[in-house]
Homo-oligomer: A and B are copies of this chain.
Amino acid sequence: MTRPFVSLTTDFGLADPSVGICKGVILRIAPDAQIVDVSHAIHRQNPLEGAALLQVALPYLPTGVHVAVVDPGVGTERRPVAILTARGDHLVGPDNGLLVPGAEALGGIEACRELVDERYRLSPVSRTFHGRDIFAPAAAHLARGVALEEFGPAVDPGTLVRLELPAPRGMGGKLEATIVSLDAFGSAQLLANRADLERAIGTVEPGMRLSVEVGTTPAARCFEATWRRTYGEVTTGEALVLVDSYGRLAIAVNGGDAAQMHGLGSGQRVRLGRA
């Protein structure tokens, strides 16, 4: 019999024992759970970054329970929820927009419940660590087969908080898009794909030179980059724009750190045009 799968995505970091404690809480309730860390390095209290990450990561994971905690509102009135997706997963976390794009990437929201039943929480519930006291226990009970309806009242999916993932837009022959995250190599991922770019500036081909403008005028910085299919196609130290592993546009430097070299950061608007 397959072990139930549980994934964890948080802004807890790995320096303190928060993640280990959540895993302990899960395994006391569901000892056979197979737990995988997606990321604990979401920039603190940035649900948008977490939402964009879940959207691309969850389709690669087994069907199971996915806990996500990026929760500036812990201890205040936002609802704790569990969402059932069309693929059969449960997404568990705060109702602050974090979970919705991931649920849509798994086929859409089939049902949602508020996590209020005390049988499925630790007692007492602290005001500062709902990951441990509400979300981890709920995930574990879902993993061992407790029905979603047991956890609390139905939540109308239309009432769930939604984050606006900043859309790309074409303007004046350029594509403007938002940097949603930086990877370990300093590559900047944009909330836009190749089709968005080609709608704005026309067909792109390997070797084409692009201009990259970062920040708002008049303080904007500008540099050039080459459209490539992979890192190894440019010389070391050269900037490139490519379709990354998740189908999103990315700005990278072969063998270097694009974020550091060009001052790129999560949340910035970037304009791509023909050089």
Chain A residues in contact with chain B, CB under 8 A?
Answer: 2-3, 5, 7, 9, 11-21, 23-25, 27-28, 31-32, 34-41, 44-45, 53, 56-57, 60-62, 72-76, 126-129, 132, 181-185, 229-233, 242, 244-245, 255
Contact = CB atoms under 8 A, between A and B. Distances in A.
Contacts of A244: 128
A57 B129 CA distance: 13
A38 B20 contact: yes
Total copies of the chain: 3
Nearest to A63: B28
A12 B61 CA distance: 18
A161 B128 CA distance: 34
7 contacts: A14-B184, A16-B182, A21-B57, A24-B38, A28-B61, A45-B255, A75-B233
A31 B62 contact: yes
Nearest to A129: B245
Contacts of A127: 229-230, 242
A262 B14 CA distance: 23
Contact of A20 (B32, B39, B76): B39
Given A232-B73, A232-B74, A20 B2 contact: no
A233 to B, nearest CB: 7
